[in-house]
Structure 1
């Protein structure tokens, strides 16, 4: 089952709009304000874009090293590859936690 970031965010927003504990709306001190001005969807999109950029840089360095570019060292290439790998693994773990949370929310009785 493929879950996109935007569809997950929309589903969570609809669920938030439907849930009011005992019919009482929370007062202003209970609400958390988003002071950064960014929403979750844009932050997630930006993070995925950063991972993509790291992978593109790693691929570019690998290609340049294979082509014999003397300005690219093996250590730079390996470091870029490891950065991209760690960033990708972190993204996969975040995705897994989001899917797990989504499944848990959807299995809650209403």
Structure 2
């Protein structure tokens, strides 16, 4: 279970790096100093994609993989040249795994929301 969560988090991070170039990431490791910052730079995080954008991009990628798998399956069923059974099976498995990961992320988000709502004030 922990491995699947780690895998999902790494996928989300990879989607974030696809959306934003690595040079624009202000959360990247910087040399640490013992100086206490006197002012917080609030403009830097605005360049990063929001959680909503990242999630929307991940869901869009899952949808795209399902569309590709469906197209390959239809091409194979119609006997079109270049439609290989191995490609169809691999695309179907990839889309299935991506969908399962999306459902798992949704379940985790719902559970986190419920945990926050059940917190005592």
Number of equivalenced pairs = 82
State the distance in 2 between where 1:41 and 1:71 align.
38
State the distance in 1 between where 2:45 and 2:55 align.
15
Question: 2:111 is matched with which residue?
Answer: 100
Which of 73, 77, 84 is the matching residue for 1:66?
77
Question: 1:16 is matched with which residue?
Answer: none
Which of 60, 76, 89 is the matching residue for 2:87?
76
Distance 1:62 1:93, change over 3 A: same
Runs of 5+ in structure 2 lacking a partner? 1-37
Distance 1:103 1:81, change over 3 A: same
Note the C-alpha offset of 1:28: 6.3
In the superposition, the TM-score normalised over structure 1's length comes to 0.68
**Equivalences for 1:1-110 in 2 at 5 Å?**
34=45, 37-110=48-121
State the distance in 2 between where 1:103 and 1:28 align.
35
Question: 1:3 is matched with which residue?
Answer: none
Note the C-alpha offset of 1:34: 3.5
1:39-94 Cα deviation digits (max 9, x unpaired) = 00000000000000000000000000000012110000000000000000000000
Aligned residue for 2:116, secondary structure, equals helix
State the distance in 2 between where 1:28 and 1:109 align.
33
Q: CA RMSD in A?
A: 2.0
Aligned residue for 1:91, secondary structure, equals helix
Where does structure 1 differ by over 3 angstroms across 4 or more consecutive aligned residues?
33-36
Note the C-alpha offset of 1:35: 7.5
Runs of 5+ in structure 1 lacking a partner? 1-26
